[in-house]
């Protein structure tokens, strides 16, 4: 075999090796970006949701990169690309049940994400992943569980999906939805030491996230999956604690 043929064979083999070593192309993942907010250059008004938040003297926003879709966003700057720390919301809450009706300080922890649905529309979802209850009297005996909880349309009473959420753009400008336990959970559970279960396998209706004040507003009876009233209700406003604001545009 002459030298020309040998060189061609070696060159072809080397090319095949190099092609096999090229990594697969993936969507760019940017996470929170600092120094701006969701203005018209970063949000397609009325089409794709944009999140922004502020911590200290820094503003952050989530750009329109596809790599940001379907990702759960926590407090910007708290580690990781998307913020490892959940947003913390806290406030005085009235729980009214036949066995007990305490007023306690309720703290919920959660993240938010945006999803494009098969029909091309967009939803915004909230994942509540933990809670604390504090205060005097019965409050020290109460615990809340059944996590994670997810948001769903106000017409939904049992399918609370981690890839669902509330249709965007929001009617009236604020996210309003039902909240309940995700797949594999028993729904929202509220128990009290000595008294047992106050609420079991429940969800709540018409929870509002007030964009202007970064506040979750609860004012609902609590219902079972078949929408039977449990006899308990919850009323309260939970304000953002560990960031200056978080908005959905």
pLDDT of residue 41: 56
Return d(Cα 213, Cα 187) in angstroms, integer.
Answer: 28
Tokens of 79: 């580690």
Tell me the DSSP string of 71-92.
Answer: --B-STTSSTTTTSSPEEEEEE
Joined tokens for residue 41: 């250059």
The C-alpha atoms of residue 188 and residue 144 are separated, in whole angstroms, by: 7
Q: Are 99 and 112 in contact (CB under 8 A)?
A: no
Helices (H), 172-236: none
Structure tokens at 229: 């009233």
Q: Which residue has the tokens 């007990």?
A: 100
**What single-letter DSSP state applies at residue 23?**
P
Residue 202 · residue 224 · CB < 8 Å: yes
What's the pLDDT tens digit per position in 85-107? 999 999 999 999 999 999 999 99
What are the 10-residue block averages of pLDDT along the chain, 249 residues in total?
41 39 52 81 66 95 92 97 98 96 98 96 97 96 97 97 96 95 96 94 97 97 95 98 95
Query: Residue 40 has what pLDDT?
Result: 59
pLDDT at residue number 132: 98
pTM, entire model: 0.87
Q: What confidence score (pLDDT) does residue 15 get? A: 40
Comparing CA positions, the residue from 110, 107, 169 lying closest to residue 139 is 107
pLDDT score recorded for residue 204? 98
């Amino acid at each position: 075999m002459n030298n020309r043929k040998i060189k061609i064979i070696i060159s072809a083999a080397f090319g095949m090796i190099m092609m096999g070593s090229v990594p697969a192309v993936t969507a760019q993942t940017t996470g929170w970006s600092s120094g701006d907010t969701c203005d018209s250059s970063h949000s397609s008004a009325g089409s794709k949701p944009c999140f922004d938040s502020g911590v200290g003297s820094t503003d952050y926003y989530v750009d329109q990169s596809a790599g940001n879709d379907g990702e759960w966003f926590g407090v910007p700057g708290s580690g990781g690309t998307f913020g490892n720390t959940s947003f913390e919301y806290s406030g005085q809450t009235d729980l009214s049940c036949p066995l007990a009706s305490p007023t306690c300080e309720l703290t919920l922890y959660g993240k938010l994400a945006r999803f494009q649905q098969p029909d091309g529309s967009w939803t915004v979802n909230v994942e509540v992943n933990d809670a604390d209850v504090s205060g005097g009297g019965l409050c020290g005996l109460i615990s809340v569980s059944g996590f994670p909880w997810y948001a769903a349309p106000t017409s939904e009473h049992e399918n609370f999906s981690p890839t669902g959420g509330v249709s965007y753009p929001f009617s009236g400008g604020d996210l309003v939805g039902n909240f309940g336990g995700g797949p594999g959970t028993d729904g929202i559970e509220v128990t009290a030491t000595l008294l047992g279960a106050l609420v079991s396998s429940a969800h709540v209706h018409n929870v509002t996230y007030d964009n202007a004040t970064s506040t979750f507003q609860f004012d609902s009876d609590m219902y079972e999956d078949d929408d039977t009233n449990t006899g308990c209700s919850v009323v309260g406003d939970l304000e953002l604690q560990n960031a200056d604001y978080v908005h959905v545009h």
